[in-house]
Chain A
Amino acid sequence: MNKLYLGGIIFTALMLVFTYISVGGSKGGLNGDIVNMLAVAGAVALVIITVFVVVKYVRQMQTDTAEGELADESWDNIGEYKNPVPMGWAIMFLGTMIWGMWYFIAGYPVNAYSQIGEYNEDTAAHNAKFEAQYASITGDKLVAMGESVFLAECKVCHGLAADGIDGKAANLNVRLEANTVKYVIENGSNNMLLGTEMPMPDRNGLFNANTGELITDAEIDTVSQYVANGMQGEGAEIFAGVCASCHGMDGKGMEYVAPNIATFDTALVTNVLNHGKKGVIGAMPAFDRLNAKQKEAVSAYITSLSAQ
């Protein structure tokens, strides 16, 4: 065998090994996805075909000699042979044309293929598969699924550690931070946290039942700390006097009245995802494109972060 061909074969083998390593080691991986497989196959075919065709012609440079009948003309002393077109080339050319017509008319007939149709089928199959598999997922598995949603969708704002990146978004490792509580008391809140329009009044609507007066600056500071501390420390009386009527003595909220401000729960997170939220930190967009299972899972994940 000629050295060139041997070289070509070694080169091709190396290519395959590298591709194998790079695809196998790549984070995406083939993933059983036909599109991935075709792309890699195409890439490999590209190198192999080019190498072998070029090797063939280089061989001819090495061993063959130029010959043929010269045309009469010569331009700036460049001559031209009247050689026929290479057979292989001509056949391939014709072949691709015939293939093209077949493809257009019969293979993927123009009037019978629709990329949106294909999308609908793929999506339905995907959803059916995973819905069946995870219909009744619970516990740690649900939290793990939630983490996967969080890492793909939420970490750009809340950060990898869900700490809100220096106050750029809510810190989800704690239920509430004092500045948020304070802001809500001073300005009220109207974020559909209960799923429907149900605003919390601002400080001008918050009476302290113990004193019979509107809530004071000092009381606001204290109770904010109290809530942010996980309903602990100083301020329990103020909370009982001002907030408990809606949020309950334990701060766990009441259905249709006020949300849970002691811990995260599925209802709260789902509502935030459905409607978004605007507050002292900034605005959180709605994520209604997540499906119900994903919302439940990410709620479970977020709840788990502050559960210890």
Chain B
Amino acid sequence: MFHWLEKNPFFFAVGVFVVIAFAGLIEIVPNFAQASRPVIGTAPYSTLELAGRHVYIKNSCNACHSQLIRPFKSETDRYGHYSLSGEYAYDRPFLWGSKRTGPDLHRVGNYRTTDWHENHMKDPAAVVPGSIMPAYKWMFTNKADINTAYAEQLTVAQYFSVPYNKPVPMKDGSTKTVKMGASVAEANALALEQAKEIAADMKDQDVKDAVAAGEIPEIVALIAYMNSLK
């Protein structure tokens, strides 16, 4: 039979395709619906947080940082509760990473703060002697792309039913509603509102001035995202 296949490229190719194709189905399909369900306490990203997530992706922070806490005592001691599938329900793309040159960040919002991030992103080695993380100074001047974040919010709300402007259940029994603007201007205003809260805790005068003037530097968005990781 194999000799025959080797003389008939079409059937050979079909044979190869069949053999390689069905493993994927068995690997991915059975759990698909289950894994898309959010756990209680997981809310969609706000416009500013999403813009910060884009900053994170743009700079490939995931090249060095994971966002997946494995169920080992040593990891839960270091980073907090192990990660749950449903916590990632709004993560498109997922950002688990595959290399931990730096620490895991899945719950970094619990144990680092705005001013610390500010110092750290400006000059990691000044805060953590021996750090090999690059300094991300340009984030203090580059402007975050709020419009793209808003376009993404609209897209996921429309195509994947991500619950913006709808109450989502929180762990303490309350609900939380993440607002999404009804227009580009409103989305920018919402982002600026959150940016002001962040900037209030920051020290960099240029950043504070920029936010006061209605602009949002990348660093502010990034910190909003970092703080949302809990």
Contacts and interface: CB of A to CB of B under 8 A. Distances in A.
Interface in A280-297: 281-287, 289
A283 B127 contact: no
B73 A119 contact: yes
Which secondary structure dominates where chain A touches chain B?
mixed
B201 A119 contact: no
A288 to B, nearest CB: 9
Interface string A69-100: 00000000000000000000000000000000
A234 interface: no
A122 B73 contact: yes
A84 B108 CA distance: 58
B127 A116 contact: no
B80 to A, nearest CB: 6
A157 interface: yes
Interface string A120-163: 00110010000000000000000000000000100011001000
A156 B113 contact: no
B173 interface: no
A115 B72 CA distance: 9
B111 A287 contact: yes
B76 A156 contact: no
Given A119-B71, A160-B129, A168-B127, A283 B76 contact: no
A122 B73 CA distance: 7
Interface in A158-177: 160, 165, 168-169
A94 to B, nearest CB: 19
B114 interface: yes
Contact of A285 (B72, B113, B129): B113
A156 B126 CA distance: 10
Interface residues of B, number: 22
A297 to B, nearest CB: 14
A168 B126 CA distance: 10
Contact of B71 (A115, A126, A165, A278): A115
Given A122-B73, A126-B73, A285 B127 contact: no
B119 A285 contact: no
Nearest to B75: A119
Contacts of A169: 116
A36 to B, nearest CB: 11
A126 B73 CA distance: 8
A303 B139 CA distance: 39
A107 B77 CA distance: 30
Contacts of A116: 71, 82
A244 B72 CA distance: 49
Interface of A: 115-116, 118-119, 122-123, 126, 152, 156-157, 160, 165, 168-169, 278, 281-287, 289
Given A168-B127, A285-B113, 14 more contacts: A116-B71, A118-B71, A119-B71, A119-B73, A278-B201, A281-B115, A282-B201, A283-B114, A283-B116, A284-B113, A285-B111, A285-B112, A286-B110, A289-B110
